[in-house]
Structure 1
C-alpha cells in the first residue's frame, strides 16, 4: 500500500484502507492512490469535526462539506517574498495558485467520496444510499436513460453540488521567453530535459521516468510509459535534444551508465534518480531570477501549440504524441491564443496608421492625368 489514512489517534481507518487496497488492485498508480487518500482524509476530517460517523452521512453533510471547501483556506507554508495567492504574474500573464480549493478539486473530491460509498454499497455494507448526488436527467432518474441513439447527447449537465469549471486556454511559452529560460538552466542535463519537453510534448513525469534502454540515438526516439495505460510509446525528439543529452551523458560517471539505469541523475553525490520535485526546484530557481512563473506542464503546452500552429501537422498525429484518448481534448490547442490575438490586433493598428493614398485610383496605380483626360476628373473629385 503506497498510502494509508489514519484517524486523529494514529489508527488506520479500516474502511479507507480497504478501499485503497481495492484501487491498488485495480491498477491505479501510486500518485492516483495518493490523491484518493487525500480526498477521503479531507472528507473524514470534516465528518469528525461535525461528529458524524461515515456511514451515517447524508446529503446535508455533503452540502455542508462543499460549502466548507468553497470558503476554506488551504494551509501552505509560504515564503515571505512569495507572491500573493491568486495574483497575476506581470511577465507571463499567468495567475498564481489561489489559497482556496479550485472547483475542479471540489468535483474530484466528490467523485472520490462517491466511489468510496459505491464500493461498500455493492458489498451490501455502509449506508442505504450514496450521499453524494449523481447526475440525473432533466425529468429525474438516471442521466441519459432511454436515450434515442439518433439524437445527440446533451453534455455539460452537472450533478448537484458539482462546481462549474471554467475552460482555461493552454498557455505556451513565447519563443523569446523560452530562450531566456533555456539560458538560465545551470547544466547540460537541464538543457536536455527542456529540449525534450518542447520537442516531444511528453508529460513531465513520463520524461523523468525514462531509463537508458529507452533512448534510440540512431532514430532519435525516446520510449515513454504513458500515463493511465502504462503502455510503451516511442516519441520522436529534435536533434538538438539529443545533442544536449550526449553532452550530459559524456560527463556521467561509469557507475551510472547502464541500460536498466535511470536516464536522469542528480548532479551531486550521493547519486539518486532525478525526481519530479527536484526538477520543479530547478525551474523554480530559474523563475525567481527571471520573474516568471512557468511550470513543467507549460513546456508540454508549448510543444503542443507549436505543432498545432504548423499547417502540415495533422491533428491526429498531435493527439497520438500527446497521448490523448479523445480527439476533442487535442482540439483545444487549435483555439486562437491570447498572444496570437494581440499580434493580430497590433498588425491591424499598424495598417491603420499607414498613410493612405488620396483616392482609390491612385491606390490602384492609375495616373491621374490619364483619368482626367478620359473622364474629365478634377483634382479632389470623389465621385
Structure 2
C-alpha cells in the first residue's frame, strides 16, 4: 500500500552519536536552493521506494509555484489515491492509459469512500480525475514521460458541451474530456440584506468583523487570514469614502481590494480595543502574543480557518439558513455585479465582469461569469440587491 511520510526536520548534532554528529552538522550547513520544509509529503510504494515523479510534481507546485497548504494537501490526496489504486492492480504508473482511468472513475461511482463510508460526490470524482490528467500532462512537459495516453491531446476525447455565454481559449482541455462526468453547475446564491444583517448580528467578535470584510471587499478566506495590522495601519489617509488595501492573492500574487472608510474605522477600533486587550491578557498569562496577524481570538492567538468557518456555519444555522465563508464572498460579487450592470444599463461606460474579475482576483473571466448568471436567474435576489445598494451603505 502506498504510504505518505511527512518530511521531518534535521536532528541536532548534539542529540546524535559522534560518528553521526559530524554528518548532521554537515547536513545543517548545506545550503539548498529550494528546500522542502518540515511536513512536506513524500510518497512511497509498499516496497518503500520513493515515488519520485509524484514528489517532483508536489515540489514544483508547492515550492516553485507557491501554492497554498490546502492546495498541496489536495494534490497529495489525489496522487496518493491514484498511485495506491495502480499499485493494488499492479499497473506501472507510466503505462496507465484511458482504460485504467475510466476504471478508476467507475470504481468511485460504484463504491463508497473508505474514509467517510458515503458515496462519492460527482464533484469529488471529477476533481480527482482532473487531478490525474493534470499530473500526466505535467509529467510529459517535465520529461518524466516521453508520451502518455492520458496526456495525448491529439486523441479525440472531445464531447459536445452545453452552451456557455463566455467563449474563451482558457477553457481547460480536461473540461472536454470523456473522463469527466456531466454535472449540474451550482450557481452561487447570495445572501439577501436581511440575512446578512442577521448573520452579522449573531456572530461574536472578531468573526463579525471578518465577515464584514468578506461582505464589503470579497476577500477569500485565505486572503483574509493573511491580513496584518501593518496592512491596515500603513494605508494613506485621503479624504475619500474608500481606500485601496494591498493584499496577497491566491498563489502569492499581488493584488488589492477597495475597502470603505467605515469598515476601516471599525477595524481601527477593533485593533485598539478588543485586539489590544486580548493580546495584553495573553502576555500576562505567559503566552506568546507578538504576531502581526490582524484577526486574533480571545486567547490572543491568530484566528484559524476552521474556527472562522465553524463560527459562520453555526451562526447561519442559528439564523435559519445556510451560511459559509465563501457565500459571503459570493454575496459581495453578486451585489457589486448587479450594481454595475444597473449602472451600465443607465449608460455608464463600465465593463461589469472585468471590474468584478479584478476585485475578486479571478484568473479567468468565465469564473466571474457564474456570478452574473446567479444574479440573472433570481429576480427576487436581484431586486433585493438593487434595493439595498441604491438605498445607500448605511445598512450592512
| Secondary structure, aligned partner of 1:4 | strand
Q: Which residue of 1 aligns with 2:361?
A: 323
Question: Would the aligned equivalents of 2:157 and 2:177 in 1 still touch at CA under 8 Å?
Answer: no
Report the alpha carbon displacement of residue 298 of structure 1 after superposing the two structures with TM: 0.5
Matching of residue 108 in structure 1 with residue 127 in structure 2: yes
Report the alpha carbon displacement of residue 35 of structure 1 after superposing the two structures with TM: 1.7
Matches of 2:380 and 2:211, distance apart in 1 = 27
Find the partner of 1:60 among 99, 121, 129: 99
Q: Let me know the Cα RMSD of the aligned residues.
A: 3.6
Q: Deviations over 1:101-130 (max 9, x none)?
A: 333x4343233323433444456655x642
Q: Which residue of 2 aligns with 1:90?
A: none
Matches of 1:300 and 1:177, distance apart in 2 = 14
| Secondary structure, aligned partner of 1:218 | coil
Q: Which residue of 1 aligns with 2:112?
A: 73
Matches of 1:211 and 1:154, distance apart in 2 = 34
Q: Which residue of 1 aligns with 2:86?
A: 47
Aligned CA distance change for structure 1 residues 201 and 108 (closer, same or farther; 3 Å): same
Report the alpha carbon displacement of residue 304 of structure 1 after superposing the two structures with TM: 0.9
Question: Would the aligned equivalents of 1:204 and 1:276 in 2 still touch at CA under 8 Å?
Answer: yes
Matching of residue 197 in structure 1 with residue 217 in structure 2: no
Find the partner of 1:261 among 269, 292, 316: 292
Matches of 2:274 and 2:168, distance apart in 1 = 58
Matches of 2:138 and 2:55, distance apart in 1 = 12
Aligned CA distance change for structure 1 residues 306 and 259 (closer, same or farther; 3 Å): farther
Find the partner of 2:58 among 20, 28, 32: 20
Matches of 2:311 and 2:268, distance apart in 1 = 20
Matches of 1:202 and 1:56, distance apart in 2 = 43
Aligned CA distance change for structure 1 residues 285 and 25 (closer, same or farther; 3 Å): closer
Q: Deviations over 1:151-207 (max 9, x none)?
A: 9979797123122243332210111111111111112x2221111111111111111
Report the alpha carbon displacement of residue 6 of structure 1 after superposing the two structures with TM: 4.1
Please, which runs of 5 or more residues in structure 2 have no aligned partner?
Answer: 1-35, 160-166, 281-288, 345-349, 384-396
> Matches of residues 155-166 of structure 1 in structure 2 within 5 Å?
158-166=176-184
Matches of 1:237 and 1:303, distance apart in 2 = 12
Structure 2 length-normalised TM: 0.67
**Structure showing greater Rg:** 1
Moved over 6 A (4+): 151-157, 257-260
Q: Deviations over 1:66-117 (max 9, x none)?
A: 1112233335669xxxxxxxxxxxxxxxxxxx852333x4343233323433
Report the alpha carbon displacement of residue 251 of structure 1 after superposing the two structures with TM: 2.4
Q: Which residue of 1 aligns with 2:269?
A: 247
Find the partner of 1:213 among 217, 230, 235: 230
Matches of 1:99 and 1:142, distance apart in 2 = 27
Report the alpha carbon displacement of residue 133 of structure 1 after superposing the two structures with TM: 5.8
Report the alpha carbon displacement of residue 225 of structure 1 after superposing the two structures with TM: 0.6
Matches of 1:208 and 1:252, distance apart in 2 = 15
| Secondary structure, aligned partner of 1:235 | strand
Matching of residue 4 in structure 1 with residue 42 in structure 2: yes
Find the partner of 1:180 among 184, 198, 201: 198
Q: Which residue of 1 aligns with 2:325?
A: 296
Report the alpha carbon displacement of residue 13 of structure 1 after superposing the two structures with TM: 3.3
Matches of 1:152 and 1:329, distance apart in 2 = 11
Matches of 1:110 and 1:77, distance apart in 2 = 19
Q: Deviations over 1:289-340 (max 9, x none)?
A: 2243211010011001111121237313222211123434323322345542
Matches of 1:302 and 1:331, distance apart in 2 = 14
**How many aligned residue pairs are there?**
310
Structure 1 length-normalised TM: 0.69
Q: Which residue of 1 aligns with 2:307?
A: 278
Aligned CA distance change for structure 1 residues 154 and 177 (closer, same or farther; 3 Å): closer
Matches of 1:222 and 1:282, distance apart in 2 = 25
